[in-house]
Amino acid sequence: MLSYATGQYPPNSIAVGDFNNHTLLDVAIGLSHVNSTGVFLGQRNETLAEQTMFPTGSSPWSVTVMDFNNDYRLDIAVINGNENNGGVLLGYGNGSFAAQTTFPTGMNPWVIAVGDFNNDTRLDIVIANGPNTTISVLLGYGNGTFATQTTFSTSNNPQAVTVGDLNKDNRLDIVAANFDSATVGVFLGYGNGTFANQSTFSTGNSPQSVTVGDFNNDTRLDIAVANDGANSVGILLNICYCCAP
């Protein structure tokens, strides 16, 4: 295994993308203890260049990579957990990034996910607000900025969030991992940026991470969850994709 130094503090999250249009994958990491995002550019010899750090807000717990301003250059979005906001660092297409532009979130934000929730071809974001017991949806304007958040109540302490079309209505839905209630919450989307109240499904103890995929090849998205308190991974098979909101 090759390893690359991130400095004296541990990374909290990771995302990949081609930040300088050289057809090689680069790596972005959240460095919460130094309030920065670290970027490692890929090299032709299948290694990564030395890390370059870009300032964020305080405690960037989660990082993701997308083109938020439709200029065909990848940008970085982070969640600044200690400031109750998020930030977007617009990419220049050469491996460097503009100073972050911030947007308010709920209290104690943990994790960010991305999707088009109102079918306007602009990327929106959803954030799990940990002890605040909400998720926040911020609709994108397509220029790297976002509308004021709309919040939706979850069960206790959502630690993670992901998106996918769970009921095959061509509208994105949201899944949250509710750490303190041993459940995942499913929010079915209406396709206009709003969502039905959550439906909850039991997991193992302390679900801390969640993703979706078709695990039994029936064309329906299922849910996989990492149960921190049970030392297990759980799979919830989707048995009712027709249940539209």
User: Per-domain residue ranges for the chain?
Assistant: 1-104, 110-117+149-244
Task: Inform me whether the pLDDT recorded for 242 exceeds 70.
Answer: no
- pLDDT of 243 reads 52
Task: Inform me whether the pLDDT recorded for 241 exceeds 60.
Answer: no
**pLDDT, mean of residues 97-108:** 93
* pLDDT tier at 201, thresholds 50, 70, 90: very high
Contact 42, 26 (CB under 8 A): yes
* Residue 133 vs residues 153, 174, 235: alpha-carbon distances, Å: 6, 15, 23
- pLDDT of 76 reads 98
Q: Please give the Cα distance from 187 to 26 (Å, whole number).
A: 32
Global model pTM greater than 0.85: yes
Assigned token pair, 229: 């308190």
Contact 128, 83 (CB under 8 A): no
Q: Which fold has domain 1-104?
A: Thrombin, subunit H (2.40.10)
Looking at every residue in the chain, the average pLDDT score rounds to 93
Opening angle at CA 156, ends 151 and 162, nearest 5: 60
